[in-house]
Amino acid sequence: MHGFLSNLILNTDSYKASHFLQYPPGTEEISSYVESRGGRFAHTLFFGLQAFIKQYLLNPVTYDDVGEAEELLTSHGLPFNQPGWLKIVNEHGGHLPIEIGAVEEGEVVPTHNAVVQVRNTDRELPWVTSYIETALLRAIWYPTTVATLSFEAKRVIRRYLDLTSDDPGGQIGFKLHDFGARGVSSLESAMLGGMAHLVNFQGTDTVAAIVGARRYYGAAMAGFSIPAAEHSTITSWGREREADAYGNMIDRFGKPGKLVAVVSDSYDIFHACRELWGKTLKDQVLRSGATVVVRPDSGNPAEVVVAVARLLADAFGVTVNGRGYGVLHPCVRIIQGDGIDLEQIGAVLAALTEAKLSADNVAFGMGGGLLQKVDRDTMKWAMKASAIKINGFWQDVYKDPVTDPGKLSKKGRQALVRDASGWRTVPAIEARENRMTPVYRDGKLLRQTTFDAVRGRAEAALREMKAAESSGAIAT
């Protein structure tokens, strides 16, 4: 994932190159923190730091990197701190002399809390703390925001499964499938965002995500997929042979116990369900022992999914479960992948519930709405300096703009604690235990987690929130 920006010195904003000349004389140490200052959700699911450290911070800066950066940045109109960067190469083996402390990945922390804290470890290089802001903040806000969005989708889906399914826990892992690889801005975004989604679910078509989970978190196989048709593989048969195209999918992939997804709206989704799946191919589907996942790909999601479910129920039958909701014959299910975002997931499931049909019947595919329609302001992410040591004495650093009280920043060294009152950020001197424990220091990864452990923390948080909702402690 290095690509053209393998030079860490250039993985920054232009103005950072001049900041080494801007701090007060006698500055020895700068401490900064990262937080979500609010935004769309009330909490964040922290994820992605380990991937960043392994990919970027464990690869040393070289003499060639210093030379390249000096030529480029001075030509760009900026001063260049050649002595500082050569000191990093010569005395620190090319590794940034900083310490990064962070909450465990997979933890779900309310917004307005510090989740990462950074300080320099070489008193002659205090500017390094903020120099890393651009790369570090990007590595945190994007995967954490996607993980949080995916977590919220899981909460919505689980709520409807609890209401309408006899087996809500057994269903949830594959109810939201990542369709987002082609809609993101880069391969690295696909990898980071795709991994973040897999913290909560196991279905993905983003191959980069399973590569990243294996490479950075030791996951043998973090996500799964199934054979699926696209429009080209259906429409290439011609409209008059639409049934043959569907039949070929059953012939090729219709094995007992297997799933095969078939996009069925190339011409008329209702005709396809009523006549082709429901009559022409019905016996073939039943004989195969497979589950055909019919995929609508146009129209109003809630209206179309309910209509398709009713047509498939008419054709293949429906069973009323213990909660009083209809479940389609095991040979057919539905996946809605067009126009899906968090709001549409809720709308589809609400419409199915109103029609007395179980959430068991549908899964979702989410593309741009999952991996691309987020930005740093979705959760108002920021990294801010909060303390500075000058001539051996710590001083508070903060901002408090009169035009925007929401940007008031924290003062002093921070600690993240969790007690009976929940998660809180407090001054470090008041904390017996800081949940932001060291992860990286001076070129070494100090604490490593696995993908399973990340998932376990997120699932534990989901159970806690569900219990709190049931007790009325928090709003749904």
- C-alpha distances (whole Å) from 373 to each of 140, 183, 337, 367, 467 are 16, 10, 15, 9, 30
pLDDT at 3: 43
Which structure tokens are listed for 390? 């000058």
Q: Exposed/middle/buried for 101, CB within 10 Å: 0-12, 13-18, 19+?
A: buried
CA–CA distance, 326 with 311 (Å, rounded to integer) = 13
Angle between helix 82-92 and 63-75 (nearest 10): 170
Phi first, then psi: give them for residue 155, nearest 5 degrees.
Answer: -60, -45
Residue 242, pLDDT score: 98
Confidence at residue 422, expressed as pLDDT on a 0 to 100 scale: 93
Please provide the DSSP assignment of 170-234 as one string.
HHGGGSEEE--GGGSS-HHHHHHHHHHHHTT-SEE--HHHHHHHHHHH--S---B---B--HHHH
In sequence order, the 6+-apart residues with CB closer than 8 A to the CB of 132 are 12, 96, 98, 118
Predicted local distance difference test score (pLDDT) of residue 6: 87
Token pair in block for residue 283: 């016996």
Residue 427 phi, psi (nearest 5):
-55, 140
- One-letter-per-residue 3-state SS of 237-301: CCHHHHHHHHHHHHHHHCCCCCEEEEECCCCCHHHHHHHHHHHHCHHHHHHHCCEEEEECCCCCH
The length of the chain in residues reads: 476
The answer to whether 135 and 128 have CB atoms below 8 angstroms apart is no
Could you tell me which of 325, 332, 254, 255 has the C-alpha nearest to residue 293?
Answer: 332
Per-residue pLDDT, 474: 59
Tell me the CA distances in angstroms from 301 to 156, 183, 295, 312, 345, one per residue in order: 16, 20, 11, 16, 9
Integer Cα distance of 162 and 178 in angstroms = 23
| C-alpha span between 217 and 162 (Å, rounded) | 31
Structure tokens at 427: 């001054």
Question: In the prediction, which pLDDT does 2 show?
Answer: 43
Helix (H, G, I), strand (E, B) or coil at 17: helix
Q: What is the pLDDT along the chain (476 residues), one digit of tens a residue?
A: 444 568 999 999 999 999 999 999 999 999 999 999 999 999 999 999 999 999 999 999 999 999 999 999 999 999 999 999 999 999 999 999 999 999 999 999 999 999 999 999 999 999 999 999 999 999 999 999 999 999 999 999 999 999 999 999 888 999 999 999 999 999 999 999 999 999 999 999 999 999 999 999 999 999 999 999 999 999 999 999 999 999 999 999 999 999 999 999 999 999 999 999 999 999 999 999 999 999 998 999 999 999 999 999 999 999 999 999 999 999 999 999 999 999 999 999 999 999 999 999 999 999 999 999 999 999 999 999 999 999 999 999 999 999 998 889 999 999 999 999 899 999 998 888 999 999 999 999 999 999 999 999 999 999 999 998 887 765 54
CB atoms within 10 A of CB 406: 9
Taking only the tens place, the pLDDT of each residue in 227-265 is 999 999 999 999 999 999 999 999 999 999 999 999 999
Query: For the whole prediction, is pTM greater than 0.85?
Result: yes
Beta strands 437-441 and 422-427, pairing class: unpaired
As beta bridge partners, residue 142 has none
Name residues whose C-beta falls within 8 Å of residue 43's C-beta, 6 or more positions apart in sequence.
108, 109, 110, 111, 148
Query: Smallest Cα–Cα separation from 214: which of 197, 195, 196, 189?
Result: 195
Instruction: Name the residue type at position 379.
Output: M
* pLDDT at residue 469, rounded to an integer: 86
